[in-house]
A and B are shown apart, each in its own frame.
Chain A
């Protein structure tokens, strides 16, 4: 532990750095997995995250062999990562030879891949479990308690990083919506003016015309408005709707 501590501190600094500007979640998870293998003397590691529908997906693996095994686990819906994700609790299996009845498909597959033991730690913050972190050993063993704490700390860092990235993405969506709505409202009012002048309509009738034209063509109202204002569609085509609208008061 003593020789490892400086490297461990560096790893946390490195991970914290990736949390700021230009955060790339995939790169972040690869750094995490690589450091985990290096620091904890595990043979291989992998990380799965739940998608928007709650289905796990393999996000990062230290080797291709590990990735194939994790994909196998998901395809067969059986194994330590799935159990860990569903229960939100760590899973320890110190000897895969004795796990045939627990995981009849996964255990032989993992042994064939050269692993003798497996552990899974949940990625969780408070009550939400967002994925699982998997450690594979080529010998029948589990991590000693100190190493387990380090692994859990790495899993916590990963969780915070992933949740933060999701928050940033969400903020981007809502801010983008506000920006679009602001731009749209100006264009819609201007387009009402254009139509009102061209077709001698009042503003309510002009709005109704835009709305019906957009609906008939399955366009967004804001797109039609922008096209009217920028002159990229023929205003007379839009205005034709007005005649029909006035002839069919129920429309």
Chain B
């Protein structure tokens, strides 16, 4: 990464510009412009792999990326947990065995390759920048460099937003919280924990398994549990 290229990427994101599009979304758009990928998404992840997609280059990519947190697996969750992941062909057995449910879902949405880059700063991880391409194929060395630099820019952007939160160390900034939108799933998990007398980690797995076996979105299941229309037995 030359200083010139970094300056170009910062220009692409438009870090100094006052425009209506929020910075996290501009980072995603810059990924698409700078590299060969079809789309990009920015996800925030907590310890234990809970999280949500807070920005994406378009609605389809957003939905693909956010489903990671339904399945508990995917490029962003892997990048958060273990570092950069490059699955240049989702049709390979390696991708399928790494993320069986996510891969099936992503392929059905037309995705051929997925790449995850951790949002890392001062040794602390807060999420991932996920790149998707409709066609299979590796990123070039230059594209990798750009993606890593954009992940750094994304990290600075989200930590900067959070630093302006009224209670920065306790509650997520409203601009970040808005995109997460999984509150109802966490609430339902807490209810399942009491209903079945299990730990929170077990409750997450049971909820996912129920949604999976009934082939219904986890949000619907969660909404039914919270509205007390459904109890897991």
A196 touches B191 (CB 8 A): yes
A174 touches B200 (CB 8 A): no
CB nearest to A225 among chain B residues: B190
Taking A174-B160, A178-B158 as contacts, is the C-beta distance between A186 and B186 under 8 angstroms?
Answer: yes
A181 touches B226 (CB 8 A): no
- Contacting residues, chain A, for B127 (C-beta < 8 A): 182
- Contacting residues, chain A, for B189 (C-beta < 8 A): 190, 193
- Contacting residues, chain A, for B158 (C-beta < 8 A): 178
A174 touches B159 (CB 8 A): yes
Among the listed A171, A172, A185, A193, which residue makes an inter-chain contact with B190, where contact means beta carbons less than 8 Å apart? A193
- Contacting residues, chain A, for B36 (C-beta < 8 A): none
Interface size range of chain A in the complex:
20 to 34
C-alpha spacing A150/B13, complex, angstroms: 40
- Contacting residues, chain B, for A178 (C-beta < 8 A): 44, 126, 158-159, 162, 168, 172
CB nearest to B172 among chain A residues: A181
Q: How far is the CB of B66 from chain A (nearest CB, A)?
A: 15
Stretch at the interface among B14-22, B46-54, B95-103: B46-54
Taking A178-B159, A182-B46 as contacts, is the C-beta distance between A197 and B195 under 8 angstroms?
Answer: yes
C-alpha spacing A180/B170, complex, angstroms: 7
C-alpha spacing A179/B226, complex, angstroms: 27
B188 touches A175 (CB 8 A): no
User: Which residues, 176 to 209 on A, are CB-close (under 8 Å) to B?
Assistant: 176-186, 189-198, 203
Among the listed A177, A189, A193, which residue makes an inter-chain contact with B168, where contact means beta carbons less than 8 Å apart? A177
- Contacting residues, chain A, for B188 (C-beta < 8 A): 193
B159 touches A175 (CB 8 A): yes
Q: How far is the CB of A108 from chain B (nearest CB, A)?
A: 47
A179 touches B163 (CB 8 A): no
C-alpha spacing A235/B191, complex, angstroms: 13
Interface of A is mostly: helix
B180 touches A185 (CB 8 A): yes
B162 touches A197 (CB 8 A): no
B194 touches A171 (CB 8 A): no
B216 contacts the other chain (CB 8 A):
no
C-alpha spacing A197/B183, complex, angstroms: 16
A230 contacts the other chain (CB 8 A):
yes
Q: How far is the CB of A242 from chain B (nearest CB, A)?
A: 14
- Contacting residues, chain B, for A198 (C-beta < 8 A): 194
B126 touches A182 (CB 8 A): yes
CB nearest to A222 among chain B residues: B170
A221 touches B170 (CB 8 A): yes
Q: Mark A147-175, 1 if CB is under 8 A from B, else 0.
A: 00000000000000000000010011011
B187 contacts the other chain (CB 8 A):
yes
Taking A175-B122, A177-B162 as contacts, is the C-beta distance between A189 and B169 under 8 angstroms?
Answer: no
A15 contacts the other chain (CB 8 A):
no
A220 contacts the other chain (CB 8 A):
yes
Taking A171-B121, A181-B171, A182-B45 as contacts, is the C-beta distance between A193 and B186 under 8 angstroms?
Answer: yes
B190 touches A182 (CB 8 A): no
Among the listed A175, A197, A230, which residue makes an inter-chain contact with B121, where contact means beta carbons less than 8 Å apart? A175
CB nearest to B48 among chain A residues: A186
B125 touches A193 (CB 8 A): no
Among the listed A172, A189, A193, which residue makes an inter-chain contact with B122, where contact means beta carbons less than 8 Å apart? A172
Q: How far is the CB of B183 from chain A (nearest CB, A)?
A: 5
- Contacting residues, chain B, for A191 (C-beta < 8 A): 190
A229 contacts the other chain (CB 8 A):
yes
- Contacting residues, chain B, for A221 (C-beta < 8 A): 170
Taking A191-B190, A229-B200 as contacts, is the C-beta distance between A203 and B226 under 8 angstroms?
Answer: yes
8 A-B residue pairs with Cβ-Cβ distance under 8 Å, sorted by A, are A177-B163, A178-B126, A181-B169, A184-B171, A191-B190, A193-B192, A193-B226, A197-B191
C-alpha spacing A184/B189, complex, angstroms: 15
- Contacting residues, chain B, for A220 (C-beta < 8 A): 170
Among the listed B46, B124, B170, B187, which residue makes an inter-chain contact with A175, where contact means beta carbons less than 8 Å apart? B124
A182 touches B170 (CB 8 A): no
B55 contacts the other chain (CB 8 A):
no
Taking A174-B163, A179-B124, A179-B125 as contacts, is the C-beta distance between A194 and B193 under 8 angstroms?
Answer: yes
C-alpha spacing A222/B168, complex, angstroms: 12
B165 contacts the other chain (CB 8 A):
yes
C-alpha spacing A128/B170, complex, angstroms: 32
Among the listed B44, B121, B123, B195, which residue makes an inter-chain contact with A182, where contact means beta carbons less than 8 Å apart? B44
Among the listed B44, B159, B195, which residue makes an inter-chain contact with A171, where contact means beta carbons less than 8 Å apart? B159
